[in-house]
Amino acid sequence: MNSLLQNRRTFLGQTGMGFTGLALSSMLFKDGFLQASEVTPPGSGPHFAPKAKSVIWIFLIGGLSHLESFDPKPALNQYAGKSIEETPFGESVLNKDKINKNLLDPSKQKRDVFKTLLELQTGFMPYGQSGTTVSDWFPHIGACVDDVAIARGMWTIDNNHGAQLTYHTGRKITEGAYPTIGAWASYGLGSLNHNLPEFVVLGNPSADCCGAAWTHGSSYLGPEYAGVRLKVDPKEPLSFVRPADKTMTLDEQRENFSLLGQLNRIAGIDYPNDQKLQARTKSYELAFQMQAAVPEVMTFDREPKSIQSLYGIDQSETKDFGGKCLAARRLVQRGVRFVQLFHGYTGSAGAWDSHTYIKRNHSRLAKQIDQPIGALIKDLKQHGMLDDTLVVMGSEFGRTPGAEFRKENASVSGTGRDHHPHGFNVLMAGGGVKRGYVHGATDEVGFHAVEERAYVTDLHATVLHQLGLDSQRLNIPGRQRLEVDYGHVMGGILA
């Protein structure tokens, strides 16, 4: 009899116990039926009192120009057409040791330093009581600047688009997959809503060249902490969140779960440490719960027309990203911990990668995101959610102060800017950061981060800190982390 029972358990475990049977297993864990066989879950709560409950993490694929967004430099207009060497800042800016210091292997990452300064491709002006300078391409965000902190001293280690993965993990793309900031938040805190994932991804992530699914992955933390991709489409927000038999009702599904759930409980006892089994159990249980929860989130009919208009959903240019931003607000409103929005997917480096015609490219892209992001900040504030929701917007790096010219490519004719890891900016709002505040600075032409320098994992540490998590205490037995992985909290930007 024991042999027969063991064979049945082994068979069920090896075959996955059926699609629907797995769904109930995670419910049994949560209800306490299988606690004796389960290791204490990591997501047991914050290390200290949090300032934020949720994060909305906006990533612009390809490299937003910090110079034409939130760090305009008048010196670029003053010295336009001149070499950096001809300016009073030439010696400091062009110091080779200073340029190579950031890069892990400069000999393999050689890119020309384009020295002929390109004038700013848009105007700029001070906004709000803080008088923070913002470019004319972002008037809606500019109107919210008194609720925003801008970190102008960011830097990173990769001057190619592998920096998209570095922005999310802190590691170079050649090192492979590591847990992302969203995965650490999910791992450390767990869920506030068992009908929705802790970590949601909206929009197409980076392409294969630049990290792909690794940019919202969980690596060795386990697949249950990876981002779950959803579509802003109430009819099909997630392709596999529906029963195999479309005529089956939710009540009928629940009835079918009963017997299979009992068998699932036996398998859970036999395989308490099977990480893949636990992740699969969780994913199917979520899939069942999400059949009702997710379409409701993605249905905007109950939102006032004024709110839909605020996000630009009634305009062709802003409809797509406006929908993502409104969905993000609705997700965090329902307890989702981390919502990651991507903008600018092209299947390659990304739409924001403006080596040529930056004025045409960036102005078009800015129109797509400026109103929705401004609306998100305003909407969170009017819902009383900005205090405990942290909005972060950034890109893998900035763009060069110098115009890009390439002898081997005549089409690159000085109308755009190259990749720039040495200094760029990140925008933050809500969640306990200072409002109307500028943190750090680049030099006079926007080349080097020179004040309050912050590496991308310093941004991670700061976000986790606001969620009540100490990055130094987020460790996995048997997994050695480097000091750079932990980062340092950017204390000056915190309220």
| Extents of the domains making up the chain | 1-38+250-293, 53-232+298-473+483-493
CA 412 to CA 405: how far, in whole Å? 5
pLDDT, residue 38, reads 32
pTM score of the predicted model:
0.86
- Measure Cα distances from 351 to 14, 92, 114, 335 in Å: 44, 32, 21, 31
Question: How do residues 354-387 score in pLDDT, each as one tens digit?
Answer: 999 999 999 999 999 999 999 999 999 999 999 9
Question: How do residues 113-126 score in pLDDT, each as one tens digit?
Answer: 999 999 999 999 99
Q: Token pair 């800190």 is at which residue? A: 465
pLDDT, residue 291, reads 76
CA 490 to CA 455: how far, in whole Å? 10
CA 114 to CA 60: how far, in whole Å? 23
Segments in the chain below pLDDT 70? 1-44, 104-110, 239-288
Count of positions (residues) in the chain: 495
117 CB-near residues (< 8 Å, 6+ apart) = 75, 76, 79, 80, 81, 82, 83, 84, 87, 401, 402, 403, 445
> Which structure tokens are listed for 250?
């939710």
327 close to 203: Cβ distance less than 8 angstroms: no
Q: Token pair 């003053």 is at which residue? A: 78
pLDDT, residue 268, reads 55
pLDDT, residue 42, reads 66
Q: Token pair 């791992």 is at which residue? A: 187
- Measure Cα distances from 95 to 31, 160, 424, 446 in Å: 62, 21, 18, 15
52 close to 466: Cβ distance less than 8 angstroms: yes
Among 3.40.720, 3.30.70, 1.20.950, 1.10.3470, name the CATH number for the domain at 53-232+298-473+483-493: 3.40.720
pLDDT, residue 32, reads 39
pLDDT, residue 23, reads 37
Helix (H) or strand (E) holding 365: helix 358-382
- Reference 103, options 439, 471, 421; nearest CA is 421
- Reference 328, options 377, 287, 264; nearest CA is 377
218 close to 173: Cβ distance less than 8 angstroms: no
67 close to 446: Cβ distance less than 8 angstroms: yes
pLDDT, residue 45, reads 81
CA 118 to CA 399: how far, in whole Å? 11
pLDDT, residue 235, reads 83
- Measure Cα distances from 56 to 86, 134, 190, 240, 284 in Å: 43, 21, 16, 25, 25
pLDDT, residue 10, reads 43
CA 98 to CA 89: how far, in whole Å? 13
Helix (H) or strand (E) holding 91: helix 90-93
141 close to 124: Cβ distance less than 8 angstroms: no
- Measure Cα distances from 285 to 26, 192, 264, 322, 339 in Å: 6, 16, 12, 30, 20
Q: Where are the beta strands (DSSP E) in 421-495?
A: 424-430, 437-439, 441-442, 449-451, 454-455
